[in-house]
Amino acid sequence: MTTLRPEQTPSWRLPDPAPYLHGPGPEPAPEPPPPAGSTRYGTGRVAQPLPPEDDATMSLRRVEPPPPVVTGGRAERRRAAQRAARARKDSIGVVVSRLTGELFITLGVVMLLFVAYQLWWTNVIAQRQAGGAAKDLQHSWDRGEGADRDAGAFSPGQGFAIVYIPALDVKAPIAQGIGKHKVLDRGMVGHYAEGPLKSAMPWDKQGNFALAGHRNTHGEPFRYVNRLKPGDKIVVETQSAFYTYEMTSRLDQTPPANVRVIDPVPAGSGFTGPGRYITLTTCTPEFTSTYRMIVWGKMVDERPRSKGKPDALVN
């Protein structure tokens, strides 16, 4: 038996075509109408159903879906789920690539946070600390506390003066020593006052008042000292007086080991004899500590604090 076979000829037959092949014959008499109450198929009878179709026709009309596959019990379903889960797992290469990418993203975020901390947040903290130290120092002077003393009379990290650079809008406290954590990282300017680097104080009758400050991060008070021009003023305020210096020259780059730049008569400054000088030192190039930039000046005015601010801080 085949399922793609055309339907077989039914059991009924067409009329015999022979009479029509020999020309028209006498027309058959019309059938009499069925009596009342009868049907086409007989009096008092209803239409009978068609005879049943053979197996070939039935197979075309009634194709049943295949029965569902009978699966095993709970253990078999669990094993099948485990096999499917293993099939879905990524290969070792994919896992390693994904972990490597996530690691690089994490490192990038950490580096960005570190840069933001170094370039921005350290300045915020250091400037706040330096501003508070300057106010405390001025309040102590107003109360008559403290006095001008020799360089070795102040303890490391102790503030004793304030430096102003009007052309750069800088105001920063000056503390004893050049310690990184106690002085420089707190936004203060450090005074070279220890060992072979010991330098003079502003009130000394001659000598070189040498200072150090950060150029980048941690308050960066000396960020733009490279912009100073000859004639720009640098003012140092102490408990008793204002000392005004005038910038004279600059050394753009020198090794850190060149300590002669803070000698009483600093080498390379152009000064030829003893005097009352000031030296500013900072790192260069920016964001590195490879070399040092040096700025020199000479004192042009000394004014008692009781007489008010000098012209450089008023104009």
Instruction: Give catalytic residue positions.
Output: 214, 283
SS3 of 278, please?
strand
Q: Rounded to whole angstroms, how far apart are CA atoms 137 and 313?
A: 18
On the question of a cis peptide bond just before residue 285, with omega within 30 degrees of 0, the verdict is yes
Residue 89 to residues 83, 100, 103, 181, Cα–Cα distance (Å): 10, 18, 21, 53
User: Contact 292/258 with Cβ under 8 angstroms?
Assistant: yes
Closest among 213, 212, 191, 217 to 126, alpha carbons compared: 217
User: Contact 234/165 with Cβ under 8 angstroms?
Assistant: yes
In terms of Cβ atoms closer than 10 Å to its own Cβ (0-12, 13-18, 19+), residue 182 is: middle
Q: Rounded to whole angstroms, how far apart are CA atoms 6 and 115?
A: 85
User: Contact 303/235 with Cβ under 8 angstroms?
Assistant: no
DSSP code at position 120 = I
Q: Cα 221 to chain center, whole Å?
A: 26
Q: Rounded to whole angstroms, how far apart are CA atoms 264 and 177?
A: 17
Q: Rounded to whole angstroms, how far apart are CA atoms 295 and 261?
A: 9
Q: Rounded to whole angstroms, how far apart are CA atoms 53 and 220?
A: 103
